[in-house]
Chains A and B, each alone.
Chain A
């Protein structure tokens, strides 16, 4: 873009959001060019600049957002929405330049409504801040992803995020009542005043998971819950994963624990040993159950009886409590995988009759084709019908190509293989990290002709294709 035109657009954007909320400074461009996507981090680590936006704008509400959209549509320049930048799939990276719309000024907490049990807030609110707002009134959001402190309400909605107590309280798409969205043409819309209706398809669910390709979520009503009277933990060691799956499926037909996390033998022997201290061979499983004490007593009996039937060794509550205390420690630098290692989480979800098959197929594919990679996995977020695999590959520094182009090649080859194996065995492209830039190419392989539904919605809402290009395979 020539600097004359760029300056003209800049002044229009400044007019829309205020001069101080519009930047073309290098520090702002650099800061918004690297998210939690491994490739963007690797690129920066090697001293290369990632693609940068031309303008960084921070609107304060839907009205200002709408003005930005109108400018972008007129000049046909891309708009990439950035919440916290904590996404792992490169979804917030402005790969085509243009406008980077940072939502964090839309962080107002409008209301903690304890009659209907929701918080109404701007979509740029950091999730931890709405948790604080709930806590101040004696409630909780029960959405506890490891990125609780990093990411925004809008980011979790846009990515279909999930937290550690999801088995009882649900995923983010279960936790939202209503949303305000600014469409690519600048129209401001509200989804229906309540979910679970029969007034056509659920508009919420069209925008949840759309990763900034269909509009900008500017406000949301997010559910809050009573703090449980008790929350108890119990650690178990299964001799293999098959018995753990059978035991867990049976428990889930009777009640819903809040936390359910089963670690494969490799992750039990590595991360769990290091952080929680379990040193026996087998598959470690951590369960939490919570709520009103009398009910929890009954749940505990069901859990212990069922797991004993499948030969689980009861490790008591100590490991589980330690895990709860340390649950985010894993994500700080120096604890988990970090550069210069190459790593990735290829989470997928499937019904019980496919989940084990997917695990073994992915493990075999990765280990056979990339012997330099370690493969570890755990299974969290369980339902009556199936669960999620959080499987990771890790390649140590010595095997990661120094040349960033070669490193990208290896990285993408591993992802192609892992995700294709999941799809071939009945899994989906992703469970809760989204698709972003990283996996866009695999969406058509997943959906086949069904992809035209997404493409049709995209085309009608965003005919100029300005919203987050090259993301979600759109």
Chain B
């Protein structure tokens, strides 16, 4: 198997270690032993040793959400995501990807997105306004929750900020998730970087795109000259500068920490400061880096029942601490928490929360 020595080292460390199984949102949802970092590593180690075949482990590889909970929990600092991503590339290149993954890749080739959808015409007026500030919302929001995109634009307008929705909304995140670091993923990244570079500043809405631009683009030498800023950072600055005038009240809001922000980008505070500017932070037990992923739209395409259970589990966490209003940072978690919300509970994006308090 053509994977790096680094990946092999992680496989050999994780294959007999159970220490992070409790924190895996997928394993907790399915109750399946194979949905653990150790099981994936054991399977891969058996492939490396010629005791089983790559096709036997390929479905299980795609059952990992790459949420990084295991990585965060590992006292030795191993990162199972590294070998998972390399395995995906191997799986795709060897033609042993599960049918449903092949189906998503084909849809992407045909339509430019894995959802096979067209962007909502309700967003047409937001493209190409000639401004210096670009808005990159990413494919999850664009094709699944255009109403969130409109809310962002509405909120920014209240602070006098006019943004231009980028034509290219493909950071390569979907290809990265499905195929790892392939030529196609890098090509998408380069095309995206070129689109970003047409602006002085680009506000990035989806943490998965922001993380890719901040981390993988650098690793792949994809140059981004524009200033890239996350929506949360941008909004907090507007609030602090007084450009976005919000009212402080006593409403309690519970942040659904997005795993990319807290784990990959080390940002646990921005959204909490935003919440504190309009209300009161009410925390769940598993918060910050210990957060539990609450949704994944790509995986929702091929394992919807499990992803629904993942979101429901997060609601159990919330309910156990009497948290009734959840504030999300990513479109994926917004959609899935909303779809599974128990009676009396509410989901708001950060922007929706702010719009409620202006």
Interface residues of A (CB under 8 A from B): 25-28, 30-32, 34, 36, 41, 44-49, 58, 82, 84-86, 102, 104-105, 107, 124, 126, 128-129, 132-133, 135-137, 147, 149-151, 328-329, 331-335, 338-339
Residues of chain B with a CB closer than 8 A to A147's CB = 18
Which residues from B are CB-within-8-Å of A338? 16
Minimum Cβ distance to chain A for residue B321 (Å)? 6
Contact of B18 with A27 in the complex, beta carbons under 8 Å: no
Q: Is the CB of A82 within 8 A of B320?
A: no
Contacts of B78 in A (CB 8 A): 333
Does B299 sit at the interface, judged by CB under 8 A? no
Q: Are B320 and A136 in contact (CB under 8 A)?
A: yes
| Apart from A27-B43, A30-B52: 8 A-B pairs, beta carbons within 8 A | A26-B56, A31-B33, A34-B42, A49-B46, A105-B31, A136-B320, A136-B321, A333-B16
B residues neighboring A (CB under 8 Å): 13-23, 28, 31-34, 39, 42-43, 45-46, 49-52, 56-57, 59-60, 73-76, 78, 285-286, 320-321
Closest A-B pairs by Cβ, 5 of them:
A150-B18, A47-B49, A104-B31, A105-B31, A333-B13
Give B78's nearest chain A residue, CB to CB. A333
- Bound Cα distance from A137 to B39, whole angstroms: 33
Give A17 to B20 CA distance when docked, in angstroms: 27
Cβ contact within 8 Å between A85 and B34: no
**CB pair B31 A133 closer than 8 Å:** no
Chain A residues positioned under 8 Å from B49 (CB to CB):
46-47
A331 CB contacts on chain B under 8 angstroms: 19
Please, which residues of chain A bring their CB within 8 A of the CB of B46? 30, 44, 47, 49
Distance in angstroms from B310 CB to nearest chain A CB is: 14
> Do A149 and B75 have beta carbons less than 8 Å apart?
no
Cα distance, A128 to B23, chains bound together (Å):
9
Residues of A within 8 A of B14 (CB): 333
CB distance from B25 to the nearest CB of A (A): 12
Are B76 and A335 in contact, with the CB atoms below 8 A?
yes
Tell which of B31, B51, B74 touches A102, judged by Cβ atoms closer than 8 Å.
B31
B22 in contact with A129 (CB, 8 Å): yes
Task: Give the Cβ gap from A87 to chain B, nearest Cβ, in Å.
Answer: 10
Chain B nearest CB from A89 CB (Å) reads 15
Query: Contact: A84 with B75, CB < 8 Å?
Result: no
What would be 25 A-B contacts, judged by CB atoms less than 8 Å apart?
A27-B56, A27-B60, A28-B33, A31-B39, A31-B42, A32-B33, A44-B15, A44-B42, A44-B46, A47-B51, A48-B51, A49-B51, A58-B32, A84-B21, A102-B32, A104-B32, A107-B28, A126-B21, A136-B321, A150-B18, A328-B19, A332-B19, A333-B13, A333-B78, A335-B75
Q: Name the A residues within 8 Å of B75 (CB-CB).
A: 328-329, 332, 335
Q: Are B18 and A85 in contact (CB under 8 A)?
A: yes
Minimum Cβ distance to chain A for residue B50 (Å): 6
The CA of A82 and the CA of B46, in the complex, are separated in Å by 21
Closest residue of A by beta carbon distance from B13: A333
B43 touches A149 (CB 8 A): no
Residue of B nearest to A37 (CB): B16
Q: Which residue of B lies closest to A20 (CB)?
A: B305
Least Cβ–Cβ distance between A276 and chain B, in angstroms: 15
Instruction: Report the separation of the CA atoms of residues A463 and B334 in the bound assembly, to the nearest whole angstrom.
Output: 54
Residue among A31, A58, A124 with the most chain B CB within 10 A?
A31
How far, in whole Å, are A124 and B52 apart by their CA atoms in the complex?
29
The answer for the CA separation of A25 and B16 in the assembled complex, in Å, is 20
Chain B: which residue is nearest A122 at the CB level? B31
Residues of B within 8 A of A26 (CB): 52, 56
Q: List chain B residues, Cβ under 8 A from A28.
A: 32-34
Shortest distance from the beta carbon of A332 to any chain B beta carbon, whole Å: 4
> In the complex, which residue of chain A has the Cβ closest to the Cβ of B61?
A27
What separation, in Å, do the CA atoms of A31 and B33 have in the docked complex? 7
Contacts of A137 in B (CB 8 A): 320
Q: In the assembled complex, which residues on chain A have CB atoms less than 8 Å from the CB atom of B32?
A: 28, 58, 102, 104
Contacts of A136 in B (CB 8 A): 285, 320-321
B45 contacts which of A44, A135, A332, A335 (Cβ < 8 Å)?
A44
Q: Which residues of B contact A133 (CB under 8 A)?
A: 320
Residues B19 and A31 in contact, CB atoms below 8 Å apart: no
Cα(A85)–Cα(B21), bound, Å: 11
Smallest CB–CB gap between A156 and chain B, Å?
13
Flag if A31 contacts B34 (CB, 8 Å): yes
Q: Given that A135-B285, A149-B21, A329-B75 are contacting pairs, would A30 and B42 also be in contact in the complex, using a CB cutoff of 8 Å?
A: yes
Out of A31, A82, A107, name the residue touching B43 (CB < 8 Å).
A31
Contact B13 A85 (CB under 8 A): no
Q: How many angstroms between the C-alpha atoms of A128 and B13 in the bound complex?
A: 22
* Residue of B28, B42, B46 with most chain A CB atoms under a 10 A cut-off: B46
| Residues of B with C-beta under 8 A to A27 | 34, 39, 43, 56-57, 59-60
Asked if A333 and B17 make an inter-chain contact with CB atoms under 8 angstroms apart, the answer reads yes
Q: Most A CB atoms within 10 A — which of B33, B59, B75?
A: B33
In Å, the complex CA distance between A407 and B108 comes to: 51
Assembled-state Cα–Cα distance A86/B34 (Å): 14
Among B16, B20, B21, B321, which residue has its beta carbon within 8 angstroms of that of A339?
B16
Expressed in whole angstroms, the Cα–Cα distance for A326 and B189 within the complex equals 41
Please measure, in the bound complex, the distance between the C-alpha atom of A126 and the C-alpha atom of B18, giving whole angstroms. 11
Q: How distant is B329 from chain A, measured CB to nearest CB, in Å? A: 23
**A31 vs B57: C-alpha distance when bound (angstroms):** 10
Complex CA gap A25/B43 in Å reads: 12
